[in-house]
C-alpha cells in the first residue's frame, strides 16, 4: 500500500496515539495514551513506509475547565510523541483539539486555544523538537455549538488568526485545520475566510475528516449503484476546500453543484 500511494504522489502516515482517557481526579478532562512502546512502534512504522505520524489531544471547555494540570499533561505527551517521531525519522502532526461542545463564547474559545497552543509549543521547545519539521493540526476558533451568539465568518477568521499569531512560532511550516464537528459547508466557508488572510508566516490548509467525507458517505450508503455519485460528491467537497485554501471559494459553488 505505501508503494501504491507513493506512486500517486501521496505520502503515507499513521495515527499513533491510543485514544483519550479520563484524567484521574479531574472530572470532564482527558489525556491521551499511547507512549508506552511508542519508540519501537515508530521504528516499525518507518520500515513499513510511513513518513509522518499524528497524535490527538482533546481539550474540553466548561465550568472551571480546562485546568492547568490537564493543559500541561496533554502538552507534555504531545511533545514526547513529537520528539520520538523525529528520532525515528518521521514528521509529527501535533493535534491539540479544543472541542466545540458547550455554550462558551468565541472569546472563551480563543482564550483557551491560546493557552493550549502556548503550552504545547513551550513543551515542544523543552523537548528539543525541531519546529521546522512539525505540522500543527488545530481547530478554528469558534463559538461553542450551544452558544446563543454564533460568531460570523469575519469574527472566526479574525479570532483564529490572532490566536495563531500569538501562539505559533513562525518556524512551523504549516498549520492544517480540523473540522471538529462542523457541517461540511460551514467548515469550507470558515476555512476560506481564514485563508483569505494572506500576511501569515505559515502555509494554511485543511485536514478534514467528517466535513470532507460525510456528503459522499450519505450518498453511497454501501451501495455499488451510488459509487459514481458519491465519488462526485467527494470530488466536489475536496475541490471546494482546495479553493478555500486559496481564499477563492464562494457559496455559489454549492448551488452550481446541486
What are the average pLDDT values for consecutive 10-residue runs of the chain, which has 258 residues?
87 96 97 97 96 97 96 98 98 97 96 98 98 97 95 96 97 95 92 94 94 92 93 94 94 74
Looking at residue 2, its pLDDT comes to 82
Catalytic residue among 95, 97, 110, 158: 95
The DSSP-derived string for the chain is: -HHHHHHTT---EEE----EEEPTT-TT-EEE---TTHHHHHHHHHHHT--EEEEEEEE--BTTBS-HHHHHHHHHHHHHHHHHHHHTT-EEEEEEEEP--SS--HHHHHHHHHHHHHHHHHHHHHTT--GGG-EEEE------TT-SS---HHHHHHHHHHHHHHHS-TT--EEEE--TT--HHHHHHHHHHHHT----SSEEEE--SHHHHHHHHHHHTT-GGGHHHHHHHHHHHHHHHHHHHTT---THHHHHH-
Is 137 known to be catalytic? yes
- For residue 257, the model assigns a pLDDT of 60
Annotated active-site residue in 29, 97, 110, 137: 137
pLDDT of residue 90: 98
Amino acid at each position: 500500500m505505501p508503494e501504491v500511494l507513493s506512486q500517486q504522489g501521496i505520502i503515507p502516515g499513521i495515527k499513533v496515539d491510543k485514544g483519550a482517557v479520563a484524567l484521574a481526579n479531574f472530572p470532564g478532562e482527558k489525556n491521551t495514551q499511547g507512549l508506552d512502546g511508542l519508540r519501537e512502534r515508530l521504528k516499525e512504522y518507518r520500515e513499513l513506509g510511513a513518513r509522518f505520524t499524528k497524535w490527538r489531544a482533546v481539550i474540553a471547555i466548561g465550568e472551571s475547565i480546562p485546568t492547568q494540570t490537564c493543559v500541561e499533561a496533554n502538552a507534555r505527551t504531545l511533545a514526547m510523541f513529537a520528539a520520538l517521531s523525529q528520532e525515528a525519522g518521521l514528521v509529527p502532526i501535533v493535534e491539540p483539539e479544543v472541542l466545540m461542545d458547550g455554550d462558551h463564547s468565541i472569546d472563551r474559545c480563543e482564550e483557551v486555544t491560546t493557552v493550549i497552543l502556548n503550552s504545547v509549543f513551550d513543551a515542544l521547545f523543552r523537548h528539543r523538537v525541531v519546529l521546522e519539521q512539525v505540522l500543527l493540526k488545530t481547530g478554528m476558533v469558534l463559538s461553542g455549538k450551544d452558544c446563543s451568539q454564533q460568531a460570523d465568518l469575519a469574527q472566526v477568521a479574525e479570532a483564529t488568526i490572532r490566536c495563531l499569531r500569538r501562539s505559533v512560532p513562525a518556524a512551523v511550516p504549516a498549520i492544517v485545520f480540523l473540522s471538529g464537528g462542523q457541517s461540511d459547508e460551514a467548515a469550507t466557508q470558515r476555512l476560506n475566510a481564514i485563508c483569505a488572510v494572506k500576511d501569515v508566516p505559515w502555509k494554511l490548509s485543511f485536514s478534514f475528516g467528517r466535513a470532507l467525507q460525510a456528503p459522499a458517505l450519505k450518498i453511497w450508503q454501501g451501495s455499488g449503484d451510488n459509487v459514481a455519485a458519491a465519488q462526485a460528491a467527494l470530488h466536489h467537497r475536496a475541490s471546494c476546500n482546495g479553493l478555500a485554501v486559496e481564499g477563492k471559494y464562494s457559496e455559489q459553488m454549492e448551488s452550481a453543484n446541486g
